[in-house]
């Protein structure tokens, strides 16, 4: 996965809502490439960091092209001064760790016959922008995120929900987040079902400076916890398949994602959700 223009606008939306704290720490599950345009990132940077915006943009982009190892500068736009990343394979990651395996910050982990120490600290925010679906033991990734997050901290999830066939192992249903919240006393701060995600991104890039309107998406959070969600998603998929925007960007395909922000309210051990 990568950080698209819609994700830039969503992070800005979360910041405006007052959920981020200046100078806090962030752990990214898998260092994410920046695919949003320079104009999109600039518009948000000048809104948030003002005097440092030019310096930050210079560290993110080489001309109009995003640099390879620039994530820590990108997250400074939203107030995160301590950025770390974790990945099993990406050489940019600060910590080498396979999220198929459960990890506790107080322990150590043996990987590829080398004794590798993952972070012992906990973080104010954890981003999971298209990582969990690539973990065959997907539950361990949610459990590990819980272990790494501070009480009062925020999980930020952007994961596939419907239609992204053969991208990773799983689509993650909306009720995953609802049940994670119920079982672990998380607070749902923000929940957006983004239909036709890839096409929407390309449409938004044509109007770089205009914030995305998250309030007028066709599927709301209450729809995702209603039994009628199956028909609504299927009907919307058909509607999107016939839309002019989808025909214009036919190479992208039709798939939906959930954008979810959850707050961890306490330090209780992780509880695995069940369906009965």
pLDDT digits (tens, 9 = 90+) for 226-249: 989 999 999 999 999 999 999 999
Dihedral of alpha carbons 127, 132, 135, 140, sign: positive
DSSP code of 205? H
139 has a pLDDT exceeding 70: yes
Do 187 and 181 meet the contact criterion of CB atoms below 8 Å apart? yes
**What pLDDT sits at residue 7?**
97
- Candidates 232, 251, 246; CA nearest to 162 is 232
Yes or no: say if 105 and 66 are a contact pair by the CB < 8 Å rule. no
Please check whether residue 255 lies inside any domain of the structure: yes
Q: In the structure, what pLDDT confidence band is assigned to residue 111 with cuts at 50, 70 and 90?
A: very low
Tens-place pLDDT, residues 41-74? 999 999 999 889 999 999 999 999 999 999 999 9
Which residue's structure tokens are 């930050």? 56
Judge whether 270 lies within some domain: no
Report the distance separating Cα 64 and Cα 57, nearest Å.
10
Q: State mean pLDDT over 70-85.
A: 96
Q: pLDDT digit string (tens) for 167-225?
A: 999 999 999 999 999 999 999 999 999 999 999 999 998 876 678 999 999 999 999 99
8-state DSSP, 118: P
Per-residue tokens: 269: 């051990």
Shortest CA distance to 246 belongs to which of 180, 163, 186?
163
Contact 183, 271 (CB under 8 A): yes
Two tokens, residue 197: 């995600």
Is the distance from CB of 262 to CB of 153 less than 8 angstroms?
no
pLDDT digits (tens, 9 = 90+) for 118-138: 567 899 999 999 999 999 999
Q: Is residue 275 part of a domain?
A: no
Q: Is residue 269 included in any domain, yes or no?
A: no
**What pLDDT score does 219 carry?**
97
Tally of CA atoms within 13 A in the half-sphere of 39 that contains its CB: 8
Number of domains composing the chain: 1
Q: Is 274 inside a domain boundary?
A: no
Q: Helix axis angle, 38-48 relative to 53-60, nearest 10°?
A: 150
Whether residue 252 is contained in a domain is answered as yes
Q: Is the residue at 85 inside a domain?
A: yes
pLDDT over threshold 70, residue 116: no
Joined tokens for residue 119: 């972070």
Q: Is the pLDDT of residue 115 over 60?
A: no
Identify the H or E element spanning 116.
strand 114-116
Boundaries of domain holding 133? 2-264
Q: pLDDT tens for residues 146-183?
A: 999 999 999 999 999 999 999 999 999 999 999 999 99
pLDDT tops 60 at residue 87: yes
Chain segment 89-108, per-residue pLDDT in tens: 899 998 888 899 887 666 65
DSSP state of 143: H
Q: Is residue 147 part of a domain?
A: yes
CA 266 to chain centroid: 22
* CATH code assigned at 121: 3.40.50.150
Mean pLDDT of 20-27: 95
Taking the CA of residue 140 as centre, how many other CA atoms within 13 Å lie in the half-sphere pointing to its CB?
A: 12
Provide the CA 45 distance to its chain's centre, in angstroms: 19
- The candidate with the shortest Cα–Cα distance to 135, out of 124, 123, 147, 143, is 143
Beta carbons of 191 and 260 less than 8 angstroms apart = yes
């Amino acid at each position: 996965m990568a950080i698209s223009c819609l994700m830039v606008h969503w992070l800005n939306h979360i910041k405006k809502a007052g959920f981020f704290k200046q100078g806090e720490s962030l752990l990214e599950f898998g260092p994410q490439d920046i695919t949003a345009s320079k104009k999109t990132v600039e518009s948000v940077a000048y809104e948030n960091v003002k005097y440092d915006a030019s310096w930050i943009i210079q560290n993110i982009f080489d001309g109009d092209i995003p640099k390879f190892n620039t994530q820590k500068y990108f997250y400074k736009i939203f107030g995160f001064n301590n950025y770390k990343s974790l990945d099993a394979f990406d050489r940019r990651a600060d910590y080498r760790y396979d999220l198929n395996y459960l990890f506790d910050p107080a322990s150590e982990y043996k990987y590829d016959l080398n004794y590798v120490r993952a972070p012992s600290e906990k973080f104010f925010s954890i981003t999971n922008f298209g990582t969990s679906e690539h973990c065959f033991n997907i539950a361990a990734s949610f459990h590990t995120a819980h272990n790494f997050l501070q009480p009062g901290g925020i999980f930020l999830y952007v994961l596939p929900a419907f239609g992204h066939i053969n991208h990773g192992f799983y689509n993650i249903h909306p009720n995953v987040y609802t049940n994670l919240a119920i079982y672990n006393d998380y607070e749902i701060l923000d929940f957006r079902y983004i239909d036709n995600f890839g096409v929407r991104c390309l449409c938004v890039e044509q109007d770089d400076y205009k914030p995305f309107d998250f309030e007028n998406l066709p599927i709301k959070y209450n729809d995702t916890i209603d039994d009628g969600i199956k028909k609504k998603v299927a009907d919307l998929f058909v509607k999107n398949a016939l839309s002019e925007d989808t025909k214009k960007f036919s190479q992208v395909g039709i798939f939906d994602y959930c954008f979810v922000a959850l707050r961890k309210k306490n330090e209780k051990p992780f509880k695995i959700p069940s369906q009965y």
